[in-house]
Amino acid sequence: MPTMTFSEIYKLFGGMVYNVALQYTQNGQDAEEVTQDVFVLVHEKMNAFRNDAELKTWIYRIAVNKSLDFLRAKKAVKRWSFLSAKGIDEKKYEMVHSEFNHPGVQLEQKEALAFLFSCINQLNEKQKTAIILVRIEGISMDEASSIMGLSYKALESVIGRAKIKLQNIINESKEDE
């Protein structure tokens, strides 16, 4: 059982979870919702822990899973709305129309980052998570591989493939313009 109280855990990891959620949702309100879900689950399960050393990895894992759950649910809602809106290219819609409202992004970088994130959003879940944890959150490869339940080599491979796919997506979008 952790030696910290719930509010201490929140003070220590709240910012971390909120920022991870932001990288997935790119939207302040959505990130808040995800963060709430994460900490509700943390509160339910926190007594299962033997020591505080595992706590950070465990909370990161919940944050990643809850963020991915949120995105899946949102995608399902969007898919249904496309049934009534014929003739719209879903990919183009993802690239152009974005609820990009990332509070960590400076105004002068907003357009470039909105585009980059729209490309990252097209990666599969593993690749997206690897890029977010390692390249945006700056987590070490060892820690990221632990969070994702992958070996170091497997994570390297995932990041390598993610970069190649990202490059292809960027090149395709430039061709379309």
Residues forming the site for other proteins (CB under 8 A): 7, 10, 14-15, 18-19, 22-23, 28, 32, 35-36, 39-40, 43, 102-106, 109, 112-113, 116, 131, 135-136, 163-164, 166-167, 170
Compute the distance between CA of residue 115 and CA of residue 82 in angstroms, rounded to an integer: 22
CB-nearer residue toward other proteins: 8 or 90: 8
Around 123, how many Cα atoms within 13 Å sit in the side-chain half-sphere?
A: 26
The 8-class DSSP code of residue 46 comes to: G
Q: Which residues contact 17 (CB under 8 A, 6 or more apart)?
A: 34, 35, 38, 39, 59, 63
Residue-level length of the chain: 177
Least separation in angstroms between residue 39's CB and other proteins is 5
Residue type, 140: S
Least separation in angstroms between residue 87's CB and other proteins is 31
Least separation in angstroms between residue 79's CB and other proteins is 28
The phi and psi torsions of 27 (rounded to 5 degrees) equal -150, 130
The SS3 assignment for 95 reads helix
Compute the distance between CA of residue 58 and CA of residue 52 in angstroms, rounded to an integer: 10
The phi and psi torsions of 79 (rounded to 5 degrees) equal -60, -40
Least separation in angstroms between residue 80's CB and other proteins is 27
Least separation in angstroms between residue 22's CB and other proteins is 6
Least separation in angstroms between residue 149's CB and other proteins is 24
CB-nearer residue toward other proteins: 102 or 150: 102
CB-nearer residue toward other proteins: 147 or 169: 169
